[in-house]
Amino acid sequence: MQTKLSDNERIDDLQCNGYRLIQNTACFCFGMDAVLLSSYAQAGKNDKVLDLCTGNGVIPILMRGKTECRQFTGIEVLPVSYDLAVRNATLNGLESDIRMIQGDIKDYKELLKGELFDVVTCNPPYMDENHGIVNPDNAKAVARHEILLNLEDVVCAAGKSLKVRGRFFMVHRPRRLVDIFELCRKYKMEPKRIRMVYPAAGRDANMVLIEAVKGGSGQLIVEKPLIVYEENGDYTKELLSMYNMV
pLDDT of residue 136: 43
162: Cβ–Cβ under 8 A, 6 or more apart, which residues? Answer: 116, 117, 118, 119, 120, 168, 189, 214
Q: Residue ranges of the chain with pLDDT lower than 70?
A: 1-2, 126-148, 246
pLDDT in tens, 212-243: 999 999 899 999 999 999 999 999 999 999 99
Distance CA 228, CA 79 (A): 33
In a domain, 1, yes or no: no
Using alpha carbons only, give the angle 32, 92, 45 rounded to the nearest 5 degrees.
80
Distance CA 47, CA 241 (A): 24
pLDDT in tens, 83-120: 999 999 999 999 999 999 999 999 999 999 999 999 99
For residue 72, the cross-strand partners are 49, 98
In a domain, 2, yes or no: no
In a domain, 105, yes or no: yes
In a domain, 226, yes or no: yes
pLDDT of residue 244: 86
This prediction has a pTM of 0.91
Distance CA 220, CA 153 (A): 23
- Here the CATH number for the domain that contains residue 180 is 3.40.50.150
In a domain, 57, yes or no: yes
Residues spanned by the domain of 110 = 9-242
In a domain, 222, yes or no: yes
In a domain, 52, yes or no: yes
In a domain, 3, yes or no: no
Number of domains in the chain: 1
